[in-house]
Chain A
Amino acid sequence: MPVLARFVEASGVPTVTVTMMPDVADWLLVPRIVGVEFPFGHSFGPAGDPVVHRRVLETAVVVLAGATSFGTRVDIDHEWPTSRGEAYKSWQPAAPSPIVQMMLDQRGTRSASADGEDVGGVPEACDSPRGVGR
């Protein structure tokens, strides 16, 4: 996704990227960044919460219009409403993706939660992990 942001920006259209991984977006030289500490698959917030969706989008367009230099980053201070473990489980797909299944098969790895505890899910890799493009 950073590549698409950069491509569109280079074409002359300003962009802002709303991301759960602002450190990574920053490293990949995304021009304007809004960070959210939400589980993957929930860029604008929880389902059924239009107040949060609106807050994230409005922050994004304010950064879009107001940033004066490359690399501007604004993180939104909003706590996800469920526990870390529940949030982790909420973004895991019903079955491991093909690449994760292949990695698990190769490593013989058990699943692990964000805090290192087994939560019965599979450690998924959203968008693309290292070695696979974003």
Chain B
Amino acid sequence: MRVDSYAFLPRSFRAMYAEPPRVAGHDEPVWAPFEKRLAEAKVALLSSAGLFVQGEQESFELDRERSEPGWGDPSWRAIPSATAQGELGMAHLHVNDTDTMADHEVSLPLRALDALVDEGIVGASAETHYSVMGYQATGLHDWQQSTGPEIAARLRREDVDALVLAPT
């Protein structure tokens, strides 16, 4: 079975997504081999749902996007692995947040990852997981200059072996 990538887009929007322009410098394969046993590996999650820890972190900036529709907040949030259901907020103007707020696992499956660790399938859940807000300005300058390097540095600092990304 092959997934229909445009199943949930209106027909008039499909042309905007099919074969979009590649960002400068991202036109060659990149590959980091996975060399550990999965049962010994520490895994982190990254969601683009615009998640943040309520009461501890600022929401992603939405007012500026409302006044500048071509701009999206390029910052990121560190989500502790022990974050419980109900502790996350979601700031993303392009998707309905009802289901992720009702069940964070829809976008950031921390408990599912814990279960894989408990069963010995994955070695460990990273201390920190991540969220960005997926709607970004053309060129992705800030993601390339700050968000990407900062997340990569933190992954290395916490000895994370692999990252599961989930675009919203």
The residues of A that contact B122 with a CB separation of less than 8 Å are 61
State in angstroms the CA–CA spacing of A50 and B103 once bound together: 10
The residues of B that contact A45 with a CB separation of less than 8 Å are 106
Instruction: Give residues of chain B (51-104) contacting chain A, Cβ–Cβ below 8 Å.
Output: 65-70, 72, 92-100, 102-103
The residues of A that contact B139 with a CB separation of less than 8 Å are 133
Number of interface residues of B (CB under 8 A): 94
B107 touches A8 (CB 8 A): no
State in angstroms the CA–CA spacing of A25 and B19 once bound together: 9
The residues of B that contact A70 with a CB separation of less than 8 Å are 29-31
Kindly identify which residue among A40, A62, A75, A131 contacts B2, using a CB–CB cutoff of 8 Å: A75
A112 touches B106 (CB 8 A): no
Number of interface residues of A (CB under 8 A): 93
Per DSSP, chain A at the interface is: loop
Q: Which residue of A lies closest to B141 (CB)?
A: A133
State in angstroms the CA–CA spacing of A116 and B13 once bound together: 11
Instruction: Give residues of chain B (11-26) contacting chain A, Cβ–Cβ below 8 Å.
Output: 11-13, 15-23, 26
- Per-residue CB proximity of A96-119 to B under 8 Å, as 1/0? 011111100000010111101000
State in angstroms the CA–CA spacing of A90 and B107 once bound together: 14
Number of A-B contacts (CB under 8 A): 319
- Per-residue CB proximity of B28-53 to A under 8 Å, as 1/0? 11111110011001010011110000
B64 CB, min distance to chain A CBs, angstroms: 10
Interface residues of B (CB under 8 A from A): 1-13, 15-23, 26-34, 37-38, 41, 43, 46-49, 65-70, 72, 92-100, 102-103, 105-107, 109, 111-113, 115-116, 121-122, 132, 134-140, 143-144, 147-149, 151-152, 155-156, 160-168
B30 touches A124 (CB 8 A): no
Q: Which residue of B lies closest to A54 (CB)?
A: B112
The residues of B that contact A18 with a CB separation of less than 8 Å are 164-167
Interface residues of A (CB under 8 A from B): 1-25, 27-29, 31, 35-48, 50, 53-54, 56-58, 60-62, 64-65, 67, 69-71, 75-77, 84, 87-88, 90-94, 97-102, 109, 111-114, 116, 123-134
The residues of A that contact B49 with a CB separation of less than 8 Å are 41, 43
State in angstroms the CA–CA spacing of A113 and B8 once bound together: 8
Q: Which residue of A lies closest to B100 (CB)?
A: A41
